[in-house]
Structure 1
Amino acid sequence: MSVLAEVLVGLAIAVGLVGIVVQVLPGNALVLGAILVWAWTTGGATAWVCFAVAALLIALAETGNWLVAGRHMRRAEVPWSTLAVGGVAGIVGFFVVPVVGLFLFFTLAVLVVEYLRRRDRAAAWRATVAALQATAITIGIQLLGGLLATATWIVGLWLT
């Protein structure tokens, strides 16, 4: 693989890592897809082992993400439907008020939905805080998986 192609794969991985934090792009899918392209074009056992390790790390991160964040949300008694409404509102907010709108619209949507569901301002706020914490947990776990997969790719670059 040429140096330019490796740089482009690295840029795609960087975009994926940013996508994990911003939560608009499918970050780990981009990271894994870029590593797959690298393994495919590089070829050889080392590249494919690196891809397999990266895929395993991302799969573990995604599974851990659902388990840990899901447990956090169940403890706070916040249904997934509330998060779905918040997620849609966050995506709309991202385009209405660039970047800041994602966080703002997500938070307000969760607060409103939980207030309508619970009819208690304090309980709705606690649920909103729990949803924000679960989002932070999700981002952290996904970012860890993406960074470990990236480190695996860097080792693969060095070995091939």
Structure 2
Amino acid sequence: MNTLGLVLVGIAMAVGLAGIVVPILPGIILVWLAILVWALEEQSAVGWWILAITGVLLIVSQVVKYVLPGRDLSKAGVPNSTLWIGGLAALVGFFVIPVVGVFVGFIAGIYLAERVRLKTHDAAWPSTVAALKAAGISILVELAFGVAMFLTWLITVIVT
């Protein structure tokens, strides 16, 4: 692949990594798709190996990003229905408040769902904080795996 192609693949991965932190794009999927484009262009054993390795990292990331936060949420007693409400409120927030609406909607949805379920602010707020921590852990896990995928590709490009 020529230099321009490598730069474009790298930019696509950078956009994917940004999409993990600011959930507008399917971030880690975009990182893997950029590697797929590179591997298809390379048509080499090394390219296919890197695609396979990053594919495994992608799958593992999706498992870990749900298992770790899910375990913490179970310990905190936050039900899945609260998370669904938070997710729906985040979607509404995305369209109502530009840029930060996803975050505002998620927090508001979690808090309101827990406030209705638990009846008091003092009971709802710790559940909201636990849900926010779990969302943060999920983002950090996916970002770590996305960076690992990017570095796997980058080192391969530099070495070969």
CA offset digits 1:6-53 (Å, max 9, x no partner): 111111111110110012221111111110111111111111111111
RMSD: 1.2
**Contact 1:46–1:159 (CA under 8 A) maintained in structure 2:** no
Q: Could you list the runs of 5+ residues in structure 2 that have no partner in the other structure?
A: none
Compare relative contact order (CA 8 Å, sep 6+) and give the higher one, 1 or 2. Answer: 1
2:69 maps to amino acid: A
Alpha-carbon separation, structure 1, partners of 2:89 and 2:118:
20
Alignment of 1:95-114 (within 5 A): 95-114=95-114
* Seq. identity, %: 44
Alpha-carbon separation, structure 2, partners of 1:141 and 1:31:
15
Alpha-carbon separation, structure 1, partners of 2:99 and 2:81:
23
Q: Which residue of 1 aligns with 2:2?
A: 2
Residue 79 of structure 1 pairs with residue 79 of structure 2: yes
Number of matched pairs: 160
Kindly state the Cα deviation for residue 124 of structure 1 after the two structures are TM-superposed. 0.8
Q: Which residue of 1 aligns with 2:148?
A: 148
TM value normalised by structure 2 = 0.94
Q: Which residue of 2 aligns with 1:115?
A: 115
Kindly state the Cα deviation for residue 134 of structure 1 after the two structures are TM-superposed. 0.3
Q: Which residue of 2 aligns with 1:24?
A: 24
Alpha-carbon separation, structure 1, partners of 2:78 and 2:91:
20
TM value normalised by structure 1 = 0.94
